[in-house]
Amino acid sequence: MWLYSLCQCAVSVSIIVVSVRLCIVVSGSGSAVDVQERTNVVQPKPGSVSCCLRLCLGWVGAIGGAVGVPVNVLLNLRTPQCLYTCITLVCCPLLVRQFTMFLLMLLTLDAHLLHHLAGRYTSVMTRQRALCVVLLCWVVSVLSSFAQFIGSDVIHTWTNGGTGSGTAGHELNDNFTTSLPTFIPTPPPKYHHARKVIGQYLPYGGFLSKFYVEDNHNFTYAEIHSSHWGVCAPDTILSPEFLVYVHGLTVFLLPLVCLLAVYLELLCTKPSTTPFSHADPPKQDSSRVRSLALSLSLLVVLCLPLHIIHALLLFHPNTNLPAWAHVVAAFLFHLYGLMPQILFTPLRKREGEERVSFPLSVPHLPPAAAPWASAKHSLKAKVCPEV
């Protein structure tokens, strides 16, 4: 468990590094060169839609990696926690991954539209529209990440999903109870008489009363949260239906269909070229096709094993999978968090290659005609020698 936690923390730190590097490269790329039109890599202009989307991807990766280090350690320890604390711990990585995948799709579509629309791109894609789409993706990410706990009996789900042996040794009897008032847990009943029920007849009434009592010094953390207390781990709080029908759909299937559609369109159609562009269209198209093929391959190889395991646990609950299979699949899924930042980090060395490929002698075209003049005079001397 400690080795697995250490590997996850190493991946999270690597995500922070590549995300910070992406932000630095994108922020400083415009100062050196705005658009590399004579190469296959298009550098984003500062303040453009592509630049803003890449900065969002970098910030989300850096913040998500920093939050993921303590969260992964706490989840791997499988310690008893309050239900609502556990919901936050489990759903934060889901939220970061979901929003990252939405940004990956937006960046892929933005690059495709930039190459396909050519001169009409600036009028179609604006920063205001891109910001609205990003905010919409954030709202959808929050709703999809917490979808299992919206409008459902959360404590009943907690009861059915977390009755394993993870609570052994914590000196808590009947850790998992239902939300019905007749089922009173074992801890001292004085808490139930002393607490104040806030908003009892309102929607979600009594939620604050789970955290607020008349005198908090007389009760321990376990006693206050005894009615919604249990082992905190993804397998004890997330249902297989949610992992397959919601999380698997939004994190794997939807990005796969989006990337595959753009990939097939590049293979079947030939987009228009940008005016006054010196790039070679076939070479540029092949480069984009290879990039999309790499993105699709990494998505399938690193993310598909974990979703296959989730589908097996849903449709064949009696399947006995080895423990190492789930650990390896979860680590590969976590490792994919590095890929979006790496794929969309611009190459700054293109500027040096551009200067080498196009020397400074290009503006001085008249002196370049001197070799032709000398060759003309030498030919004339050979054909018509002067005596």
Residue 158 · residue 83 · CB < 8 Å: yes
Please report where in the chains the tokens 């190492």 appear, as a residue. Answer: 324
Residue 47 backbone zone (phi > 0: left; psi -120 to 50: alpha; other: beta)? left
Question: Quick one: how far is CA 296 from the chain centroid?
Answer: 15
**Of the given ranges (215-224, 336-345, 361-370), which has the lowest mean pLDDT?**
361-370
Say if residue 172's pLDDT is above 90: no
Q: Is residue 302 part of a domain?
A: yes
More confident of the two residues 16 and 180:
16
Provide the percentage of residues in the chain whose pLDDT is more than 70.
Answer: 62
φ and ψ of 343, to 5 deg: -70, -30
Q: Is residue 228 part of a domain?
A: no
Q: Is residue 177 part of a domain?
A: no
| Tokens of residue 106, six digits | 């937006």
Q: Is residue 78 part of a domain?
A: yes
Which whole number is the average pLDDT over 116-145? 86
Cα(134)–Cα(50) distance, integer angstroms = 12
- Listed ranges 125-129, 254-258, 266-270; the one with the highest mean pLDDT: 254-258
Say if residue 91's pLDDT is above 60: yes
Nearest Cα to Cα of residue 250 among 111, 131, 104? 104
Q: Is residue 334 part of a domain?
A: yes
Which whole number is the average pLDDT over 235-261? 92
Side-chain half-sphere CA neighbours of 223 within 13 A: 16
Residue 208's contacts (CB-CB under 8 Å, 6 or more residues apart) are 198, 199
* Three-state DSSP state, 383: helix
Q: What is the CATH number of the domain that holds 333?
A: 1.20.1070.10
Cα(383)–Cα(379) distance, integer angstroms = 6
Cα(229)–Cα(82) distance, integer angstroms = 5
The DSSP symbol for 80 reads E
Q: Is residue 365 part of a domain?
A: no
For residue 77, what are the domain limits? 2-153+233-349
Q: Is residue 169 part of a domain?
A: no
Taken as a whole, the chain contains a residue count of: 387
Residue 259 · residue 296 · CB < 8 Å: yes
Say if residue 205's pLDDT is above 80: no
Please tell me the predicted confidence (pLDDT) of residue 187: 46
| Tokens of residue 238, six digits | 């997330």
φ and ψ of 320, to 5 deg: -95, 100
More confident of the two residues 209 and 369:
209
Domain count, the chain: 1
**Of the given ranges (6-20, 161-175, 211-225, 258-272), which has the lowest mean pLDDT?**
161-175
Which whole number is the average pLDDT over 128-157? 85
Please tell me the predicted confidence (pLDDT) of residue 212: 59
Q: Is residue 159 part of a domain?
A: no
Q: What is the DSSP string of 123-155?
A: HH--HHHHHHHHHHHHHHHHHHHTGGGSSS-HH
Degrees, nearest 5: CA angle 293-145-294: 10
Which whole number is the average pLDDT over 25-37? 54
Cα(342)–Cα(203) distance, integer angstroms = 45
Which whole number is the average pLDDT over 88-117? 91
